[in-house]
Chains A and B, each alone.
Chain A
């Protein structure tokens, strides 16, 4: 009797018995349906297993189709090596390349080489738009989009991690290849289900920073495959990427801000002193948030901490300092990063800068990015939403107003200005830090 395989909501349902199934570590007996079941990502392993035992199989899992697409891209040497390494690893695995080294091109070439319905999963709406434009331009087929206010499914589709997560049960059998851009996101507990629920035999992870302190990348390796190719920024610096320099500017608070800051910080510290939170780790912050639900003092402390942060990140003198930097760099291409959207709008209104935040709609953000790329705009301000992968070519000055202390975020941002300049000049990154505040520690920590 043949064994029948069917895709069912992120799992492979196995009807019919075969003795060898009972011993398989990734197959479970499911009494609810009187069948066996495997997680969808194990589909290729399951097929291989049944083949070894010569079990006849009725397989209705693949709901993907053959496509035929070609792009005009020619791969650079290291891109070619990366694609070959991935193909040799039975089309599974992660490629780690620095920001700006052309991961999108690699993804497009992978889609060409597999020739089956493909899904590209990306972390931000900016990347969604960018990938979609790129695929539309290169491929002679309709390109679907899930996310950014649109839900259209096509044989080649780009999706945000959020949309792919929400629809994971239903999408898992539609694609023969899934490309996970910035694939370290798959380490997150929710997002990993996107890959768990996918039966796609071919999987490609793309990232600039794969390893994570929480070891979540090990999960990604299980779901997508091991790192098959890796290149560090140093390998590319001076070759494809520009040199860069960092300038740190200490900016004092105004007297009035200093008073409000000390007051707020004092409330916060006083609470810490009388509670047993040390704030040496992120979990203490979560604990404070949790307590604030029932404990008015904790809530007061939390609000005070937020107020202190706001004073520092929106300090009047930082805006003055930014004024000086903008003045000094008239004629340069400048991106300004801030920690809060409120500040983005203040700067946008003050300097009449095009602004991009999570609230900016798709059409307008595309207009602004296009206009920045083609030189219509030489300045742009944003609240961290351009962190990852978004292709903003030829910016040579970045200004960071109060960032958070995460190592990853910092290198991603540096990557934003690591673009070859026409005149070969060095790129500059300004970091504006408030003197004598908690913010300084954050800036020190990432050195």
Chain B
């Protein structure tokens, strides 16, 4: 992070935007100044940087780069005599003579240097050789090249802007990392539902009484972990010398720390979770599985369930939490969270925990497991929700359905209507007949009855059916009063039933 005096922001249009830079050429020059001053004093280095400031677009940019490079600069006191010792002796002699004139000074230095077996000049040079400005740059091994320095500068600049933040609103694709960081930093959060999803609003305990910048440095540290997520959006309320302004930072800003790629791979907390996700996704259900989907408001805390199931048709979201064997405190905390949330939750509980009843008492569904979670148990719970979805969807459908198609697959029709197929199945189709899983107009069946005769090969019959897009040959043939006499594995002849 930088110091506040090095902050560069624009307030155009009432906003508050860090002035990010792409000036790698200037970064390279600042690097060069450091490299060229190995063996020289900090004062000389500072003068050279001053000169560069005069030429640069913005002197604060030069100072910002320098501030970051200072971390890798090693300065040392270089003198013939240890400065503290030199001062002690020189001041004692100075006191003895009550130095006022130059001549008196010379005498005092001579006497002091005799004790140390050195020269008066060396002693005089040593007096303040330990002052910051007189220390010597002995080593400079920068961790960043010019491009990385620019990246680091941009991140540091945004962090510095956050020093004056009184509140942060964060959205991120890595909510769990966010919550861990928030806890580590001792901040408080609220979950707010918005059109775009859930936003975590961050403040500190004292914020309930007044807007305070006290938590600014913590916000700045938090940003360091937020920018690791692939997607994020941070909206900060800035107290800009009494005026409130809004600063927005997103993954579009140049905020990636140098050398760090965003986390893209899904990571699982435990084998139990990974195992469950793999097996669930191999089933082809109407439920989509999402990992660490949301922040749920759970009273004092925020809760991030392991998974959410979202149904393809229904506006239903069921959260799923796997409670492994853990400490009693963990279980206690989880139960408190479950207590405080009002969402649909399924909780898989390790049998050995023995808290199933406690959870059911909190109106959540429980499946117990030993070793691995049985997918079937979870699917059973989802089925119950599905029944509700079917009922809801069916309620919206008219009793009689009259699609324009001559031939229409029932599943495709349900898909088109955006409802589960169960909801379509028990409706009436006055203009169609249901043959197998396919809706067919009676006129089509009549034509087919003329086209197909006993004794035809199955291939010929199937060609006729194909013309109407009918794929379920055996069902249609059965409806028309035929059967197939199989000849080998694929070929056959159409016969009267």
A contact residues vs B (CB 8 Å cutoff): 8-11, 13, 28, 30-34, 37, 39, 169, 193, 196-197, 293-294, 299, 323, 326-327, 330-331, 345, 348-354, 359, 364, 376-379
Contact = CB atoms under 8 A, between A and B. Distances in A.
B300 A33 contact: yes
A11 B95 contact: no
Given A31-B190, A299-B59, A359-B132, A353 B91 contact: yes
A34 B212 CA distance: 21
A114 to B, nearest CB: 26
A326 B102 CA distance: 13
Given A9-B204, A352-B93, A376-B95, A293 B190 contact: no
B169 interface: no
A351 B99 contact: yes
Nearest to A9: B205
Contacts of A350: 105
Interface bracket on B? 35 or more
Contacts of B124: 349
A352 B188 contact: no
Interface string B112-138: 000000000000100110011000000
Contact of B209 (A33, A37, A169): A37
B67 interface: no
A377 B87 CA distance: 13
Contact of B299 (A34, A349, A379): A34
B455 to A, nearest CB: 81
Given A9-B206, A30-B208, 13 more contacts: A10-B206, A11-B206, A32-B300, A169-B205, A349-B127, A351-B100, A352-B91, A352-B99, A353-B91, A359-B131, A377-B91, A379-B95, A379-B98
A331 B188 CA distance: 63
A359 B42 CA distance: 15
A330 B300 contact: no
A8 B209 CA distance: 14
A320 to B, nearest CB: 11
**Max chain B C-beta neighbours (<10 A), residue from A9, A197, A359:** A9
Given A350-B105, A352-B94, A353-B91, A293 B58 contact: yes
A294 B58 contact: yes
Interface in B265-303: 299-300
A9 B186 contact: yes
B82 interface: no
Nearest to B212: A193
Interface of B: 8, 58-60, 84, 87, 90-95, 98-101, 105, 108-109, 124, 127-128, 131-132, 186, 188-190, 203-206, 208-209, 212, 214, 299-300
Nearest to B94: A352
A146 B91 CA distance: 31
B11 to A, nearest CB: 11
A11 B207 CA distance: 10
Contact of B188 (A32, A193, A327, A377): A32
A9 B95 CA distance: 51
Contacts of A34: 299-300
20 contacts: A8-B205, A11-B209, A13-B205, A32-B190, A33-B300, A34-B299, A39-B209, A293-B8, A293-B59, A327-B100, A351-B99, A352-B99, A352-B105, A352-B108, A352-B109, A354-B91, A359-B131, A376-B95, A378-B95, A379-B98
Contacts of A330: 98, 100
Given A39-B206, A299-B59, A351 B127 contact: no
Contacts of A377: 91, 95
Contacts of A294: 58
Nearest to B19: A294
A338 B416 CA distance: 86
Contact of B128 (A39, A169, A349, A351): A349
A11 B94 contact: no
Contacts of B212: 193
B208 A37 contact: yes
A37 B209 CA distance: 8
B100 A37 contact: no
B38 to A, nearest CB: 24
A193 B92 CA distance: 44
* Most chain A CB neighbours (cut-off 10 Å) among B60, B105, B206: B206
A13 B209 CA distance: 12
Nearest to A293: B60
B63 to A, nearest CB: 10
B326 to A, nearest CB: 24
Contact of A11 (B8, B127, B186, B208): B208
Contacts of A11: 205-206, 208-209
A323 B127 CA distance: 20
Nearest to B133: A342
B189 A32 contact: yes
A31 B300 CA distance: 9
A301 to B, nearest CB: 14
Given A32-B188, A349-B128, A352-B108, A193 B214 contact: yes
Given A28-B209, A31-B190, A32-B188, A353 B300 contact: no
A351 B208 contact: no
B144 to A, nearest CB: 24
Given A9-B186, A37-B209, A323-B101, A353 B94 contact: yes
The 10 closest A-B pairs by CB, nearest first: A352-B94, A9-B205, A11-B205, A30-B208, A327-B100, A354-B91, A352-B99, A28-B208, A326-B100, A32-B188
